[in-house]
């Protein structure tokens, strides 16, 4: 296993400690490692909390800060955070206007965030399930929540900052999630440290089309490797046909790397996706490429499209100051 590690049991704590020190102007780490919260607490607004298994960095802790999340709860690698982590985070950041939990649709996350919500006095939940690849997966009933979660967190973060109510944020989050679709492809497997070997076998000339962010199976195993244009075409088709936009629709294009794919290739995929979207008459007015919602050391990427309107575009553009996303401040 080719990783920077001291002991498998300490990876998460050591990484969180490094993250918190590196970004101590933005975040603070709970002394029991239960959550990462903003360094400066803000009252009078709805507190946004997300979380999930670790191994997807910078999701979620990298999105804690002004204009996005108030706290994030990191579970062990690919393991949901516990309800008591989520409750502790909520108690630390609830500024009196309630707590919105943003939850990726995986069985463990849904169960633990639901349990936590029942223990909190004023909490609502937004579920993300943007992955069009499969309708049911290893850890999921229904669609998986993947890179589109970042879009939901950004838009809701801006809306919370302007003072939206808990009910309004839940409605907006549901709307953004329903306007957002993703699909991914893996060129290599990830390796979970505790397992010490790749999660799945994939040959030198094979790839997994529609892969999940834990290495869950996708739609099909492809061999030989397809050209980048054909890969982008298949992912764009799946996403756009599911969304069913009108011609001329404005969209956000997010090309997300899974952790081991460099920017040279992500921008090449961005260009391929752009051409396919423009051929379909769509207008890319917002764009982003980078390793944002990763799968440990997996090589591969996903394409996410969000249908934009004036409100969602303005919230996407609004100032944000987090470790992993920063603009307008």
Binding footprint of its own copies on the chain (CB under 8 A) = 2-7, 11, 14-19, 21-22, 54-55, 57-58, 62, 187-188, 204, 207, 225, 227-229, 231, 255, 259-272, 274, 284, 287-289, 291, 294, 296-297, 299, 301, 326-329
* CA 182 from centre of chain: 11
Task: Between 95 and 193, name the residue whose CB sits nearer to its own copies.
Answer: 193
Catalytic residue among 13, 21, 23, 56: 56
* CA 73 from centre of chain: 13
How far apart are alpha carbons 265 and 234 in whole angstroms?
Answer: 17
**Secondary structure element (H or E) that encloses residue 287, with its range:** strand 283-290
Give catalytic status of residue 321 as yes or no.
Answer: no
How far apart are alpha carbons 258 and 268 in whole angstroms?
Answer: 15
Q: Residue 239, CB half-sphere, CA atoms under 13 Å: how many?
A: 34
How far apart are alpha carbons 134 and 324 in whole angstroms?
Answer: 29
Task: Between 96 and 262, name the residue whose CB sits nearer to its own copies.
Answer: 262
**Secondary structure element (H or E) that encloses residue 124, with its range:** strand 123-128
Locate 72 and state its tokens.
């994030």
Q: How far is the CB of 207 from its own copies (least distance, A)?
A: 8
**Are the C-beta atoms of 34 and 62 separated by less than 8 Å?**
no
Q: How far is the CB of 14 from its own copies (least distance, A)?
A: 5
Task: Between 97 and 190, name the residue whose CB sits nearer to its own copies.
Answer: 190
Task: Between 91 and 278, name the residue whose CB sits nearer to its own copies.
Answer: 278
Catalytic residue among 21, 23, 60, 214: 214
Q: How far is the CB of 81 from its own copies (least distance, A)?
A: 16
Q: How far is the CB of 116 from its own copies (least distance, A)?
A: 24
How far apart are alpha carbons 121 and 83 in whole angstroms?
Answer: 14
Q: How far is the CB of 122 from its own copies (least distance, A)?
A: 33
Task: Between 54 and 112, name the residue whose CB sits nearer to its own copies.
Answer: 54
Q: Which residues are catalytic?
A: 56, 214
């Amino acid at each position: 296993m080719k990783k920077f590690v001291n002991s498998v049991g300490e990876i998460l704590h050591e990484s969180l400690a490094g993250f918190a020190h590196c970004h101590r102007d933005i975040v603070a780490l709970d002394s029991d490692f239960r959550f990462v919260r903003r360094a400066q607490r803000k009252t009078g607004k709805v507190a946004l909390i997300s979380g999930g298994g670790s191994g997807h960095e910078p999701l979620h802790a990298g999105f804690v800060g002004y204009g996005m999340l108030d706290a994030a709860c990191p579970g062990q690698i690919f393991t949901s955070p516990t309800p008591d982590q989520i409750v502790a985070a909520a108690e630390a950041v609830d500024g009196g206007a309630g707590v919105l939990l943003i939850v990726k649709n995986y069985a463990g996350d849904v169960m633990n965030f639901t349990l936590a919500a029942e223990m909190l006095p004023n909490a609502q939940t937004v579920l993300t399930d943007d992955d069009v690849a499969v309708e049911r997966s290893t850890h999921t009933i229904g669609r998986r929540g993947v890179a589109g979660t970042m879009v939901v967190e950004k838009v809701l973060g801006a809306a919370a900052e302007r003072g939206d109510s808990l009910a309004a944020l839940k409605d907006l989050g549901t709307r953004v999630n329903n306007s957002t679709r993703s699909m991914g492809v893996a060129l290599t497997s990830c390796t979970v440290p505790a397992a010490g070997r790749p999660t799945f076998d994939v040959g030198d000339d094979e790839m997994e089309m529609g892969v999940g962010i834990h290495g869950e199976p996708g739609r099909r195993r492809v061999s030989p490797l397809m050209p980048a244009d054909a890969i982008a075409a298949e992912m764009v088709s799946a996403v756009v046909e599911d969304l069913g936009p009108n011609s001329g629709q404005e969209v956000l294009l997010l090309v997300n790397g899974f952790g081991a794919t460099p920017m040279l290739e992500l921008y090449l995929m961005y260009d391929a996706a752009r051409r396919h979207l423009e051929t379909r008459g769509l207008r890319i007015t917002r764009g982003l490429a980078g390793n944002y919602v990763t799968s440990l050391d997996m090589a591969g990427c996903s394409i996410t499209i969000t249908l934009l309107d004036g409100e969602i575009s303005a919230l996407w553009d609004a100032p944000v100051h987090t470790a992993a996303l920063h603009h307008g401040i």
